[in-house]
Structure 1
Amino acid sequence: MRYNLASYVYEPINTLLEKPTGIRKARRELIGKAYGKVIELGVGTGLNLPLYREDVEVIGIDVSEGMLKKAERKKSPAKVKLLRGDARSLPFPDESFDTAVSTFFLCVVPEKERVLSEIKRVLKPDGLLLTMECSPTRNPVFWNFLRGLSSLTSKITGTDFRIDIGELLRRNGFEVIEEKNLVNGAVRILVAKPSPEP
């Protein structure tokens, strides 16, 4: 599986890119907003685990055994449990979590609408979804480059800069309450909550 292979390069590449782009600082700030019982979708190698506060309980889900093995080595102030699972069918009752976290996961995972439906189902009505995702930039030159890059990366790793995650959230039952752009808009940070049912 490609995610198992990616587990060997994912963290070195992220470590190299995140500090100079401001992503590392933004990641720390975003994870600092997590509260209560947390589900992290696509926990990967556990880059976020050291950033959680000690007063939260985190369940990290990933489909890749290789990623999870690396995540198990991470130390965290929080109480952490790691599970192999598919975000398209989460093994939890409705309204189980106060916070859901997705960093560079929604821009990669297939069947995004199904995943968002599951996130909304397991989040409490007053819960938060914290996301940091690849995004289409509004800079036309940069956008042309990223669009071409996405035609390649979407096939190899699933990463796609062409999908507006904010708009995807709004179309799938979430209200975006905070939004911030990084890396000339190629990375977007969003805080959202479930929209009230009509």
Structure 2
Amino acid sequence: MKPATTLLTLATAAMLWGCGTSNSTDSTEAADSANEAMADSAGTTAATAVAEEDAKFAVDAADGGMAEVALGELAQNKGTDPKVKEFGKMMVTDHTKANDELKALAAGKNITLPAVPSEDKQKVETDLSAKSGKDFDKAYIDQMVDDHQKTVKLFEDGQKNVKDVEIKAFIDKTLPVLRSHLDHIKSLDKAK
């Protein structure tokens, strides 16, 4: 037990150091590394490989969920079309709820989630925040279509590949909401 505790402490310290002083490791990569270290400390059984895949899904889902909340807040502040603002509000509400559920689930399973969105997702937010007016509305809608297509695929793949019963239940509960978001934003895109 002591070697596993020591390894976990070292992994946590490395993650905190990496997040605080290095630009080469973003929060998502640090979470993946911490989860891999935890799986490695448990041995190399088939169950460990499954747990690592499930943790990877949780990290990717959390990354996307946090980004949707941030972009939804941006849409509420910068959007000019009331439908864009309304969609942004829905993103904040629905993704905050899903993020909170995922955080609780991950905590119970000792899965480390990223503290902030990945550098790629932060860059998207920075790029969108530089836009205004109808240019912002169009760019936000395009981004939401792209993001939700990727997220729906992530969750559909998760339905097939995730082994943990509770994470699978989270996927089954969340996927219909994500599909409705995709349908909604596609209808906004067609209307533009």
Same fold (TM over 0.5): no
| TM-score between the two structures when normalised by the length of structure 2 | 0.28
- Which protein has the larger Cα radius of gyration, Structure 1 or Structure 2? 2
| TM-score between the two structures when normalised by the length of structure 1 | 0.28
> 1 or 2 for the larger relative contact order (CA 8 Å, sep ≥6)?
2
The structure where helix makes up a greater share of residues is 2
